[in-house]
Amino acid sequence: MSATAATTAPATTAQAVAFAAHGPADVLAVTDVPLPEPGPGQVRVRVKAIGVNPIDGKIRSGVMAAIFPVDLPHIPGQDLAGVVDALGEGVTAWAVGDEVFGMGTKTYAEYVLAGADRLVAKPAGLPWEVAGALPTAADAAYRALAEVGVAAGDTVLVHAAAGGVGGLAVQFARAWGAAVVGTAGEANHAYLRELGAEPVRYGDGWADRVRVAAPQGVDAAVDLVGGGVLGDSVALTGDPARAVSIVDPADAGANGVRFSSGHDGEDYLLRALASAAELYVAGNLTLPLAAVLPLADAAEAQRLVETGHVRGKVVLTVA
């Protein structure tokens, strides 16, 4: 059975951003692509906002080609927020016109496909740009905390607490009743305090500064930056099972720590998104948008993320 008739889609083609060869952000270009047709279990979404993630640029540059090979030309992106536009066979959870956010494939586009089970309903009080920015970062933040068993009364060390994943990890951990120490540059220390974390400067001596900031001790640590922080993190937690990295498989392996890719283990996506939406609508979660740019400015958006110093998220929008 083919997809149900779309209500808003153009007849045959729509715009997307793609790259035809690996390279710097300049390789990204707006292009016309065939309107994607949802297969069984999928929906097509008319996109409103797209979160830009570090992985998008790593795939584009080719640095991840051995791990995430892609056919060229390739449309980047996995985060989306938008309106359900067509249903694939067997989809009963959603109706055309539903407002959703979640994870799909090739999401730097006006129309994208997503598994019906990779989406949650977007509440009216959650702005499109924030909804589009949440999926990958909220999933990773929630998963990392869950995998190290963060619970009320714990003190959690969050490395790179001012980034997209980090800010959400801080706020989930606070919502779960944990205290948080977060590493960031000095310019982000006031921001981290607003989120409810005790800020610590990264770089040489960071572990001693954490000991001062958390005299009660550190129970769990999440590495969102890599570069060799896990040895000292395990020394702080006293147990490799209470540390995790989402960035650095080599350092994780060397220290007996879990590397969390999201491709194995328990799936937290829907819980993470529902929780983030609920906290946001209740006024208990914030997500700064460092830049909100039109889809055509995807190259500029990826360049910003590639600085490694974005506070919160960069988002692309579709008019």
Ligand X SMILES: NC(=O)c1ccc[n+]([C@@H]2O[C@H](COP(=O)([O-])OP(=O)(O)OC[C@H]3O[C@@H](n4cnc5c(N)ncnc54)[C@H](OP(=O)(O)O)[C@@H]3O)[C@@H](O)[C@H]2O)c1
Residues that bind ligand X (CB under 6 A): 53-55, 136-137, 140, 159-160, 162-166, 183-185, 188, 202, 224-225, 246-247, 260-262, 305, 308-311
Give the nearer residue to ligand X in terms of CB position, either 178 or 184: 184
Q: Which residues contact 283 (CB under 8 A, 6 or more apart)?
A: none
We find the least distance from the C-beta atom of residue 134 to ligand X, in angstroms, to be 11
- Bridge partners (DSSP) of residue 259 are 245
Tell me which residue has its CB nearest to ligand X.
163
We find the least distance from the C-beta atom of residue 94 to ligand X, in angstroms, to be 25
Give the nearer residue to ligand X in terms of CB position, either 217 or 265: 265
Given a contact cutoff of 8 angstroms between Cβ atoms, the answer to whether 51 and 302 are in contact is no
Angle at 244 between CA 239 and CA 248, to 5 degrees: 125
Q: Which residues contact 161 (CB under 8 A, 6 or more apart)?
A: 167, 169, 170, 180, 182, 183, 184, 188, 192, 195, 197, 199, 224
We find the least distance from the C-beta atom of residue 91 to ligand X, in angstroms, to be 26
Give the nearer residue to ligand X in terms of CB position, either 225 or 295: 225
Pairing, β 220-223 against β 243-245: parallel
Cα separation, 162 vs 142, whole angstroms: 15
We find the least distance from the C-beta atom of residue 150 to ligand X, in angstroms, to be 17
We find the least distance from the C-beta atom of residue 37 to ligand X, in angstroms, to be 29
Give the nearer residue to ligand X in terms of CB position, either 49 or 83: 49
b/e map 133-144, b = 16+ CB within 10 Å: bbbbbbbbbbbb
Given a contact cutoff of 8 angstroms between Cβ atoms, the answer to whether 125 and 114 are in contact is no
Give the nearer residue to ligand X in terms of CB position, either 165 or 272: 165
Distances (CA, A) of 39 to 2, 9, 86: 8, 16, 10
Burial of 164 (0-12, 13-18, 19+ CB in 10 A): buried
Give the nearer residue to ligand X in terms of CB position, either 83 or 301: 301
Give the nearer residue to ligand X in terms of CB position, either 125 or 185: 185
We find the least distance from the C-beta atom of residue 307 to ligand X, in angstroms, to be 8
Q: Which residues contact 144 (CB under 8 A, 6 or more apart)?
A: 165, 169, 222, 224, 244, 246, 260
We find the least distance from the C-beta atom of residue 116 to ligand X, in angstroms, to be 22
